[in-house]
Amino acid sequence: MAEQSIAGPAGRVRASDGDRSARARIVILLLSVALALSIFLSLTSGASDASAVRVIRDWLTGGVPADTALAARDRLIVYDIRMPRVLLGVLIGAALAVSGAVMQGLFRNPLADPGLIGVSAGSSLGAVAIIVLGTTWLAPVTLALGTLALPLAAFLGGLAVTLLLYAIATRHGRTSVATMLLAGLAIAALAMALTGILVFVADDRQLRDLTFWQLGSLGGATWPKIGTVGPVILLALATMPFLSRGLDALALGEATAGHLGIPVQRLKYTAIVGVSAAVGASVAVSGGIGFIGIVVPHLLRLAIGPDNRYLLPASALLGASLLLLADAVARTVVAPAELPIGIVTAVAGAPFFLWILLRERGVIDL
């Protein structure tokens, strides 16, 4: 196993002058349109025949709708069920994709992903601890923090895992991929075992909650939940653009990034805290949704290159769109029941991940 691996095949895309920024801007524009369309589709489709178009039309005309009972029901479904769900999907899709891109830049490796290397497992452990022990051992914590207890615990769990991983896998400024993946595996296993112990002591009602929560779902979206995790995710996402040039420089190695004037230690800690916050908040509300963080940045690097100034916003847009799409599938494929969205992203994402591995087998040296 090599200590340091390179990755990324030579992309098939090739701008003759080496400047891909114009292409990147066009892609970002197209992704914005795609996200707007996804939002619209998600608002209008679902198990009920409630129509966002009808709601919007009523709202625009300001007149009295022909069927007031139907209009009221539609409004309820669109405003209180679909809108928070769509908003949550956008936030979480963006958070997971951007976190993946930032992690990959930080670890200098295209295979780093919060779900794959145990960060999500750490967040899960924190969250499950609150769900199961929130009324007993951890009662003072939940009392003191209220609805913030769950996202905060998830954040701390994710943060602990990321810091541990970084300490284990990085030596002399170089992060070993093999060590990172294997350590991530071990830490994830440990976190899952501890989670298992908590599940073991959980009562029946908690068990059902836990099972569905762990599979991942946007189903529980409510406005209060968005009020809790939304600001955390938005704040984390808002810091990421400031890291983009530093992450680009980090691709040349930590020492060279430092020589270019990047405050490397601060960059690393900001990135780790930001990713842990974003992933922790996401896991707290929607459970484990895998593969968005690895698939989205990878696809985009093929299209627009690895420049983080474009990669991060593009990842946010594509991640949000893809998660809405996955949620639409989850809501409709077995309607009126609902598939956990984590299953949808895993079914689509895992084969894609294998494809990346096969494609880069000659290039990535684990």
Compare residues 58 and 248 and give the one whose CB is closer to other proteins.
248
The footprint of other proteins on this chain (CB under 8 A) covers a number of residues equal to 37
6: contact with other proteins by CB under 8 A: yes
Stretch that binds other proteins, among 1-9, 65-73, 77-85, 235-243 (CB under 8 A): 1-9
* Contacting residue, 226, 301, 315, 324, with other proteins by CB under 8 A: 301
180: contact with other proteins by CB under 8 A: no
178: contact with other proteins by CB under 8 A: no
Q: What angle do CA 335, 280, 131 make, to 5 degrees?
A: 70
313: contact with other proteins by CB under 8 A: no
* Contacting residue, 70, 234, 251, 343, with other proteins by CB under 8 A: 251
* Contacting residue, 9, 196, 231, 351, with other proteins by CB under 8 A: 9
Is it true that the peptide bond before 336 is cis, omega within 30 degrees of 0?
yes
DSSP secondary structure, 291-343, as one string? SHHHHHHHHHHHHH-S-HHHHHHHHHHHHHHHHHHHHHHHHHTTTTS---HHH
Stretch that binds other proteins, among 34-42, 78-86, 91-99, 303-311 (CB under 8 A): 303-311
Stretch that binds other proteins, among 15-23, 40-48, 207-215, 345-353 (CB under 8 A): 15-23
Number of H helices, E strands in the chain: 16, 2
Is residue 291 left, alpha or beta, with left meaning phi > 0 and alpha meaning psi from -120 to 50? Answer: left
CA 129 and chain centroid, separation: 21
Compare residues 39 and 111 and give the one whose CB is closer to other proteins.
111
354, with CB counted inside 10 A (0-12, 13-18, 19+), is exposed
Shortest Å, Cβ 298 to other proteins = 10
Pull the structure tokens for residue 70. 């139907």
Q: End-to-end alpha-carbon separation of the chain, Å?
A: 5
**Which residues bind to other proteins, rule: CB under 8 A?**
4-11, 14-20, 108-110, 245, 248-249, 251-253, 255-256, 258-264, 301, 305-307
